[in-house]
Amino acid sequence: MNKNAKLPETEDGTVLFNVDPIIVKQHYEIDYLHSYAQDSPFFAGLAKKKLLGSRCAACDYTYATPRGHCMECGGATDWVEIPLHGRVHTYTTCYFGGEAFLKETPFTLVLVEFDGVDTLFLSRLVGVEPEEAAIGMQVKARFLRNAKFRPTDVYFVPE
């Protein structure tokens, strides 16, 4: 028996942000394994500099994004390559954003419309000052050279 037993002390401290209630800073890190499942071809397409949408086999309704079944009729969809050129349907400039994008503010998000596609595609508009963005502006897709297999692998620039 050792009545003088002690747990080892460390030199690292705790950052205290608030006293009542106590709020401390604690590092947290995790490797997250995420499956794209049936959406995988969309992300593989981005790596090949292609935009893959979905077209309903029953009614031809065409989505700019991955979709297994049609919202209009419930039919199954097939992958379809959609144009890399489109128009700004609407836009917004973000002066605040999630942590991953905070350093890039302000940035402009656009909903892009394409010929022959019934829905819009949300993406970033790059190379345009916030006051230069305009509805109807002709834009084209540009892809990261090194795909990260994320939706941000594609962005749009003015034509």
Number of residues that bind Zn ion (CB under 5 A): 8
Residues whose CB falls within 8 Å of the CB of residue 113, separated by 6 or more in sequence, listed in order: 86, 87, 88, 89, 120
Instruction: Select the residue interacting with Zn ion from 46, 52, 64, 70 (CB under 5 A).
Output: 70
Calculate the CA dihedral of residues 74, 80, 85, 86 and round it to 10 degrees. Answer: -10
Q: Specify the DSSP element, H or E, that contains 88.
A: strand 85-94
User: Which positions from 101 through 130 interact with Zn ion, judged by CB under 5 A?
Assistant: none
Is position 61 an interface residue for Zn ion (rule: CB under 5 A)? yes
Instruction: Kindly state the DSSP code that residue 100 receives in the 8-state scheme.
Output: G
Choose between 75 and 97: whose C-beta lies nearer to Zn ion. Answer: 75
Kind of pairing between the strands at 138-143 and 85-94: antiparallel
Q: Contact region for Zn ion (CB under 5 A) — 11-19, 21-29, 59-67, 108-116?
A: 59-67
Site string for Zn ion, 13-52 (x = CB under 5 A): ----------------------------------------
